[in-house]
Amino acid sequence: MSKQPTKRNLRKILLRRFEGQFDLTRLDYNRRSKPAKGAAKAIGALFAGLVYMAGFGLAYYSWGQGRIDTELLNKLSFIFMIPASIIGLFAFLLSGSRREFPIREDIRAHVSAVEGETGILWRYEPLLKQMDLKKIDIEGLIEASHEGRLIKMAPEDICATLHALYERLSNNSTQTNSDTLEAIENNFTDKAEAA
């Protein structure tokens, strides 16, 4: 009977500590980068359209002057789609990268300030190892946090991991047992005793 309230109290302590350490609004990479991705798509489409219209306009002018026949005009209208698509894709990638760079740097600055030299994320290792996040190298993130180099990891992976971790801590399910919570708390208290 007395174990369940202790588990709840420990979960609340860990959750408050987590909320005090990480600003989840600032670490919401998908929400923050969505406008940048939309603008990058518009820039890519604009550049692709301009290149295609310039090529097609030149071919149409030549056809109007009688320098090329209708069959060549039809072929050129399809051929100009290739460079237009390539330039549009390049413009999309470049614009997206430039627009997302400040967001990524802000996330790195926040993670760097929270993690410090000793790391924080690795202290949640017992719970992180129970989580299954597709396409995210949890072991790599834990190791990087432990070595003080988490900021070198992909910001979108860090953000997704932290949001999933918060979800798991705030979810009062039976998946997270008291041994896991105690192991996390021990990771923090060992740090305080060592200091």
pLDDT on residue 131:
83
pLDDT on residue 182:
85
pLDDT on residue 191:
54
pLDDT on residue 146:
87
Domain range summary for the chain, segments of one domain joined by +? 31-101, 116-195
pLDDT on residue 194:
46
Contacting residues for 65 by C-beta, under 8 A, at least 6 apart: none
pLDDT on residue 190:
67
- Taking the C-alpha atoms of residue 54 and residue 84, their distance in angstroms, rounded to an integer, is 10
- Taking the C-alpha atoms of residue 93 and residue 43, their distance in angstroms, rounded to an integer, is 10
CB-based burial label for 116 (10 Å; 0-12, 13-18, 19+): exposed
pLDDT on residue 97:
92
pLDDT on residue 55:
93
The tens-digit pLDDT sequence of the chain (195 residues) is 344 446 668 888 888 998 898 999 999 999 999 999 999 999 999 999 999 999 999 999 999 999 999 999 999 999 999 999 999 999 999 999 999 999 999 999 999 999 887 888 999 888 888 888 888 888 888 898 888 888 888 899 999 999 999 988 887 665 667 788 888 888 888 654 444
pLDDT on residue 6:
62
